[in-house]
Chains A and B, each alone.
Chain A
Amino acid sequence: MGRNAVRSSQEHGCSLVSPGSLVFKPIKVSSSVLKAAAHHYGSQCDKPNKEFMLCRWEEKDPRKCLEEGRKVNECALNFFRQIKGNCAESFTEYWTCLDYSNLAELRHCRKQQHAFDSCVLEKLGWERPDLGDLSKVTKVATSRPLPENPYHSRPRPEPNQTIEGKLEPAKHGSRLFFWNW
């Protein structure tokens, strides 16, 4: 079943995506690390993230959004480099505390969170976003034009022509089965 259903190279290969563009440096961190840094990451790397998501939503095609994805990757790498360079110990304590429980609940690690937040604030000037700030709807300014026909739908049929002439009601009614009105 799989052998018949592979994407064609013309579609995702040479014309759009070269194998070289898929070579990225992955961010090798675990989920607790990501969750610990999530709020600051959301406020710092906001612009490339939102651009990528907008591109993905509009184009509905991952192959067209690889450039924005590259920017997301770079921003994330820079972000983690900065944290590692400046606030490594408090960050390590914070994410190890989160890692302790299965669900990684943020409310059990408030002390370490305050320590990490104050360290980041004094060294890098980052503020933790308030509750509800990350879920606000944002407007993104892009230079990419809006795609037309993102679903590649066939041309729609033309509407019916307008009927010329005077229209009269039917002579014997609708004539559906036995109704004569």
Chain B
Amino acid sequence: MWGRWSAATVFLYQRRRVSSGTSLACFGGGWRKMAGSKVKQDMPPPGGYAPFDYKRNLPKRGLSGYSMFGIGIGIMVFGYWRLFKWNRERRRLQIEELEARIALMPLLQAEHDRRTLRMLRENLEEEVVIMKDVPGWKVGESVFHTDRWVTPLSEELFNLRPREELLHKRFGFLWYV
């Protein structure tokens, strides 16, 4: 038993030595080969490999955090400035369009007044014709107790006209549904 154990240890020892020998061979040793075998192996070139970088290379590059924030904020401020400038320009354009409306309002109001009065006149004349046989009917009597001008309703103005004229008056310029 002692012999076997010692043989085993010697075997193991020899084994280890052989492996260290082969590792030395990786580094260009080769002075220790496996006992008894001449095998063609893939070995490093004579003189060994050239040295190479194996350490970590994480260079510090790029902008710092502060400067990145600064650039972002700078871009935002530039955007705001451009937006405010354009908004002021839009306000000027809107004022111009509203002034066009202001300039035209007397003309449109005068024409609208004349049209209303003309329609009321025509309605009155029709009423005289329609209600001439009704006893006790005062033509053109006001339904209000006051005698000031009351703006007539569209239904009242367009009463004797085709319905599509009333619809056009009420909904002709409506954009939404």
Given the interface contacts A65-B113, A106-B97, does A5 sit within 8 Å of B127 by beta carbon?
A: no
Inter-chain contact A152/B147, CB cutoff 8 Å: yes
Given the interface contacts A12-B117, A62-B116, A132-B95, does A106 sit within 8 Å of B109 by beta carbon?
A: no
A63 interfacial by beta-carbon distance below 8 Å: yes
Inter-chain contact B107/A49, CB cutoff 8 Å: yes
**Within B137-162, which residues are at the interface with A (CB < 8 Å)?**
138-143, 146-150, 152-153, 155-156, 159-160
CB proximity of B96 to chain A, nearest CB, Å: 6
Which listed residue (B100, B140, B147) contacts A13, Cβ 8 A? B140
Inter-chain contact A49/B106, CB cutoff 8 Å: yes
CB proximity of A58 to chain B, nearest CB, Å: 13
CB proximity of A36 to chain B, nearest CB, Å: 9
B93 interfacial by beta-carbon distance below 8 Å: yes
Cα–Cα distance between A3 and B155 once the two chains are bound (Å): 10
A41 interfacial by beta-carbon distance below 8 Å: yes
CB proximity of B139 to chain A, nearest CB, Å: 7
Cα–Cα distance between A52 and B107 once the two chains are bound (Å): 9
Inter-chain contact A19/B121, CB cutoff 8 Å: yes
Inter-chain contact B110/A13, CB cutoff 8 Å: no
A143 interfacial by beta-carbon distance below 8 Å: no
B111 interfacial by beta-carbon distance below 8 Å: yes
Given the interface contacts A1-B155, A11-B142, A26-B111, does A61 sit within 8 Å of B106 by beta carbon?
A: no
CB proximity of B114 to chain A, nearest CB, Å: 6
| Per-residue interface assignment for chain A, residues 1 to 25, with 1 indicating a CB less than 8 Å from any chain B CB and 0 otherwise | 1111111111111000101001010
A151 interfacial by beta-carbon distance below 8 Å: yes
B124 interfacial by beta-carbon distance below 8 Å: yes
B130 interfacial by beta-carbon distance below 8 Å: yes
Report A-chain residues with C-beta under 8 Å of the C-beta of B130. Answer: 3
| Per-residue interface assignment for chain B, residues 97 to 113, with 1 indicating a CB less than 8 Å from any chain A CB and 0 otherwise | 11111111111011101
Query: DSSP class of B's interface residues: helix, strand, loop or mixed?
Result: helix
Q: Chain A: which residue is nearest B108 at the CB level?
A: A34
CB proximity of A149 to chain B, nearest CB, Å: 9
Inter-chain contact B117/A6, CB cutoff 8 Å: no
| Per-residue interface assignment for chain A, residues 98 to 129, with 1 indicating a CB less than 8 Å from any chain B CB and 0 otherwise | 00000001110000000000000000000001
Which listed residue (B110, B131, B146, B155) contacts A2, Cβ 8 A? B155
B169 interfacial by beta-carbon distance below 8 Å: no
Inter-chain contact A42/B142, CB cutoff 8 Å: no
When A and B form their complex, which 9 residue pairs have the shortest distance between CB atoms, in order from nearest?
A: A42-B103, A2-B159, A38-B100, A62-B113, A8-B140, A69-B110, A49-B106, A152-B148, A61-B149
Other A-B contacts than A10-B140, A69-B114, 20 sampled, CB-CB below 8 A, are A5-B156, A8-B140, A9-B124, A11-B142, A17-B117, A17-B121, A22-B114, A22-B118, A34-B107, A35-B104, A38-B103, A43-B103, A50-B106, A60-B149, A61-B149, A63-B149, A68-B110, A73-B107, A73-B110, A134-B103
Pairs A–B under 8 Å by Cβ, sample size 21: A1-B159, A4-B143, A6-B127, A7-B150, A8-B142, A11-B140, A19-B121, A34-B107, A39-B99, A39-B103, A48-B106, A50-B106, A52-B106, A52-B109, A53-B109, A62-B149, A66-B117, A106-B96, A129-B99, A135-B99, A152-B146
